[in-house]
Every structure is written in C-alpha cells, then in structure tokens.
Amino acid sequence: MRTFVKLACLLILTACGGLRDDLTQTPDPIGTFRLGHNIAVVNEPVQGPFSRTVEDAAWQAAMTAAVNDRLGLARFDGSAFYHVGVAVEGYVLAQPGIPLVYSPRSVLIFSVNFFEDATQTKLNDEAIQLTVFEPCCTVPFLGSGLTRSAEEQMEGLSFSAARAIERTMRQNGAWFGAENEVLPEDDTILEGNVLVDNPELVAPAETPPES
C-alpha cells in the first residue's frame, strides 16, 4: 500500500505540473479582452459531504488570485476592459479517505458573470454555473485528502475554476469581439451543480468505517 500511494502521488505531481505549464505560455488573445474588475463573492457557500472547512475570506483570496493569474494583464492586454464576477456557491475539500475503499473527491461549484466596461452591460443572460474538479486528482481510488492540505486543495480548485472561466470566454468569444471557439471536452469541468445533479461523483456509495 505504501508503494502504491507513493507512485500515485508521483503521478499526481506530474499531472499537476503539466497542466500548470499553460500559465507560462503566451495565450491567443480573446478579442479585445483586458481584465477590469476581478470580483469574487463568497457568502457561506454550501459545504458538501466529508469536506474540510475553510473561511470564506480564504476562498475569496484564492479565487481572486487565480483569476488574476490567468486573465490578468500579464496574459491578456486587449484594448477594452471587461469585468469578471465570480460567486463561490459550494465546495468539497476532501478529507483523508482510505485508498481503494473510500476516497472523496474535491470539487468547487461557482457561477460567473461577464460585464463590458464601455457599455456597463452584462454579456451573459444568466449566471453561468460550473463545477470543477482538481485536475491532478485523476489517479483512480486516491482522493486528494490523502496527499494535499486544505490550502493546496483550495488553490488547485481555484486554478481549475479560472481555467474553466477562460474556456467559457473562448467558447463565447463573440462577447469580446472574437470568434466562438470549439474546444475539446474536459471531464474536470461540468455545467451545473454536481452536489445537486451528480453527488455520486463526489462521494462514493460506500460509507467510511467507524472510527
């Protein structure tokens, strides 16, 4: 079992590193997009099953930093300002489980809205609700609670959320004066609220053994 966990952790670190490399690359512009206000609202989000607890302020800081890292001036320097508003609605920061038996997954549920500064108009009709999973927790039967702290889980989920926001922007490029892009599916990103629509994806049917 120790050997399995060590190998799985190595695979997780390798997967994370590969995904994070995209922030060091110069992205294609998204029309005229330049980040204006970067707003993250966190007001007592729903805490899913078997989750660690963190303060709302910690989520707000993590989300603001992740959006700035991905969408800020260092990566997008278009000619028009757009504002991005994110509301954290729910989360699961997986507690340590039992590998091969009980391994809850970490997820973040949030909604995002986009606004054009010049016209002071909202670009999407309704808030876009998304669920993201940690991108580096794809090793079967091993939840991130066993290998990562709450802060690391939160940072990873915020990274995934910002990445999902960029994908949403590219898929709706016309909002920013660009072409709508067709992107390959990503199984770490789901539309809607997984805690409502597919809770079995977060926690397995098994229940943890009594302590």
Look at residue 36 and give its three-state secondary structure. Answer: strand
pLDDT value, residue 153: 92
Average pLDDT over residues 37-43: 97
pLDDT of residue 166 exceeding 50, the answer is yes
**What is the pTM (predicted TM-score) of this model?**
0.83
Average pLDDT over residues 52-59: 96
Structural domain contains residue 210: no
Mean pLDDT of the chain: 84
Tally of domains within the chain: 1
Structural domain contains residue 209: no
C-alpha 205/C-alpha 126 separation (Å) is 33
Structural domain contains residue 208: no
Structural domain contains residue 157: yes
C-alpha 13/C-alpha 35 separation (Å) is 30
Average pLDDT over residues 161-181: 98
Neighbours of 179 (CB within 10 A): 10
C-alpha 137/C-alpha 153 separation (Å) is 10
pLDDT of residue 17 exceeding 50, the answer is no
Structural domain contains residue 47: yes
pLDDT value, residue 1: 45
pLDDT value, residue 85: 98
pLDDT value, residue 138: 45
Structural domain contains residue 54: yes
Average pLDDT over residues 15-36: 80
Give the phi and the psi of residue 167 in degrees, each rounded to 5. Answer: -60, -45
Residue 185, judged by CB atoms within 10 A of its CB (0-12, 13-18, 19+), counts as exposed
Structural domain contains residue 80: yes
HSE-up (13 A, CA, CB side) for residue 197: 9
Name, in order, each residue with C-beta under 8 angstroms of 93's C-beta and a sequence gap of 6 or more: 51, 52, 53, 54, 106, 145, 150, 153, 154, 157
Average pLDDT over residues 136-159: 71
pLDDT of residue 110 exceeding 70, the answer is yes
Is 118 or 50 the better-scoring residue by pLDDT?
118
C-alpha 168/C-alpha 128 separation (Å) is 9
Minimal CA–CA distance to 153: which of 71, 57, 56, 52? Answer: 52
Structural domain contains residue 112: yes
C-alpha 92/C-alpha 78 separation (Å) is 35
- Residue 117 belongs to what domain range? 2-23+31-201
